[in-house]
Amino acid sequence: MDNLALLILCFVAGFVARKTCRLPEQTPAVLNSFIINLSLPAITFLFLHEMPFSTKLIYPVVMPWIGFIVAIIFFKTAQRIMNISQETTGCLILVGGLGNTSFVGLPMISAYYGPEYLGIGILCDQPGSFLVLSTLGIMIATMHSSGTVSAGALAKKILTFPPFQAVMLGLAFRAVPIPDWSIGMMKGLGATITPLAMVSVGYQLKFAMTDRLLSKLSIGLFFKLLLVPALIYFLYVIVLQTSGIEIQVTIFEAAMGPMITAGIIAMQYDLDKDLATMMMGIGIPISFITLPIWYYFLLGV
């Protein structure tokens, strides 16, 4: 409960700080930069270095890829049925197809399952959500706007991303012991993810509902918060008959609200900025209600 209380407090503090102008406009950029360049690489390296491997670890890695591919099929079908614009469709695929497995997902895992299971979330996020966004996501954004993307640019974006580098280093040095003082240092940096990420998320939330957005927002959030985790549950538990805490955490991550970074990409490519903002602004707070429901539902898995 302490972790959950901290999560809610920091989220509200970020939202209030923007409303009262207590923090500068650059606050989210600074906080996100600190997390991406220090906090997340530290905890990513530590867990990839220390975490014992099992065949079940393939499930968190594959989960975001499944969700995004299904999102392409789902929203392209909706585009034809509902006569949705190309830009709006691209926005829905990006923001509805990728969950916030890092900034919200890791604090939520820590709050509900405990920090010892953050490694599962990191697997969902780094070789999962981030890699999807950096490859298929950029391609979808480009195809639904007027930009171009090269294989070299994609490779550079992936290889120079600090958390991805931490994944590679954590795997490469698994056989090399690391001193206790460095473990404590990395745990300390990793502990900053929850407060800083939730302040950043709360600060960035904006609400601007219109009639035009309502139907698109509804279908996007229905897909992200209900259909994706239900599909992953069906595939993993019913079809493949897997079980255990790793599967619970993976499905829990599938139920996260929309990915903030995907929303930022959508806005950078002019893919319905208002819808991207509302998907995050409404979807993330609603996920704080739906996630406990998924948590208790998954206890028997």
In single-letter form, the type of residue at position 245 comes to I
Half-sphere CA count of 13, side-chain side, radius 13 A = 16
| Residue percentage of the chain with pLDDT more than 90 | 38
What pLDDT does 87 receive?
92
Q: Is 105 within a domain?
A: yes
Q: For residues 113 and 249, is the Cβ–Cβ distance under 8 A?
A: yes
- Whether 301 is in a domain gets the answer no
On whether residue 180 sits in a domain, the answer given is yes
Quote the CA–CA distance of 45 and 163 in Å, as a whole number: 8
Q: Percentage of the chain surpassing pLDDT 70?
A: 95
Quick one: pLDDT at residue 148? 63
d(CA 13, CA 142) in angstroms, rounded, equals 35
Q: Is 18 among the domain residues?
A: yes
Q: Which residues contact 265 (CB under 8 A, 6 or more apart)?
A: 94, 133, 137, 138, 141
> What per-residue confidence (pLDDT) applies to 209?
65
How would residue 254 be classed by pLDDT, with cut points 50, 70 and 90? very high
Assigned domain for 8 exists: yes
Mean pLDDT of 182-199: 85
Range of the domain at 56: 2-202+210-295
SS3 of residue 22 by DSSP: coil
Mean pLDDT, residues 163-192? 87
Higher pLDDT among residues 261 and 18, named by residue: 18
Q: What is the mean pLDDT of the chain?
A: 87
> DSSP character for 55?
G
Q: Quick check: 138 pLDDT over 70?
A: yes
Q: Which two tokens stand for residue 224?
A: 């992200």
CATH number at residue 261: 1.20.1530
- Are the C-beta atoms of residues 123 and 101 closer than 8 Å to each other? no
- Is pLDDT above 90 for 11? no
Residue 300 in any domain: the answer is: no
Identify the pLDDT of residue 28. 85
Number of domains in the chain: 1
Query: Rounded to whole angstroms, how far apart are CA atoms 258 and 276?
Result: 9
Query: Average pLDDT of 130-141?
Result: 84
Average pLDDT over residues 287-294: 94
Comparing CA positions, the residue from 254, 252, 251 lying closest to residue 237 is: 251
**Which residues make beta-bridge pairs with 258?**
99
Give the residue ranges of DSSP H helices in the chain.
2-19, 27-34, 40-50, 58-82, 86-97, 105-112, 118-124, 131-132, 138-143, 151-159, 162-172, 180-190, 193-204, 211-222, 228-233, 245-254, 260-268, 273-298
In a domain? residue 52: yes
Question: Cα 67 to the chain's mean position, in Å?
Answer: 12
Contact between 173 and 167 under an 8 Å Cβ cutoff? The reply is: no
pLDDT at 146 (0 to 100): 65
pLDDT, mean of residues 180-207: 83
Tokens for 199, please give them: 């302040």
pLDDT in tens, 33-49: 888 888 888 887 887 78
Contact between 42 and 166 (Cβ < 8 Å)? yes
**Residue 80's CB: how many other CB atoms inside 10 A?**
9
Q: How high is the pLDDT of residue 4?
A: 66
- Indicate the pTM of the whole model: 0.79
Residue whose C-alpha is closest to residue 95's, from 226, 217, 215: 217
Q: Is residue 14 part of a domain?
A: yes
